[in-house]
Amino acid sequence: MIGQNFKMILDVEEINKIQEYFKARMEDRPAPDRHETVMVNKNGNQIYVEAILSNIKNAVPRCFMWVVYNLVYRR
Report the pLDDT value the prediction gives residue 62, as an integer from 0 to 100: 77
Q: What is the spatial distance between Cα 32 and Cα 22, in angstroms, rounded to a whole number? A: 10
User: pLDDT, tens digit, for every residue of 4-55?
Assistant: 777 888 999 999 999 999 899 889 899 999 999 999 998 999 999 999 988 8
Beta partners for residue 29, in sequence order? none
Report the pLDDT value the prediction gives residue 13, as an integer from 0 to 100: 93
Report the pLDDT value the prediction gives residue 9, as an integer from 0 to 100: 87
Domains (range + CATH), the chain? 6-73 (3.30.450.20)
Report the pLDDT value the prediction gives residue 75, as an integer from 0 to 100: 63
Residue among 72, 29, 30 at smallest CA distance from 50:
72
- Do 33 and 52 meet the contact criterion of CB atoms below 8 Å apart? yes
Q: What is the pTM of this model?
A: 0.76
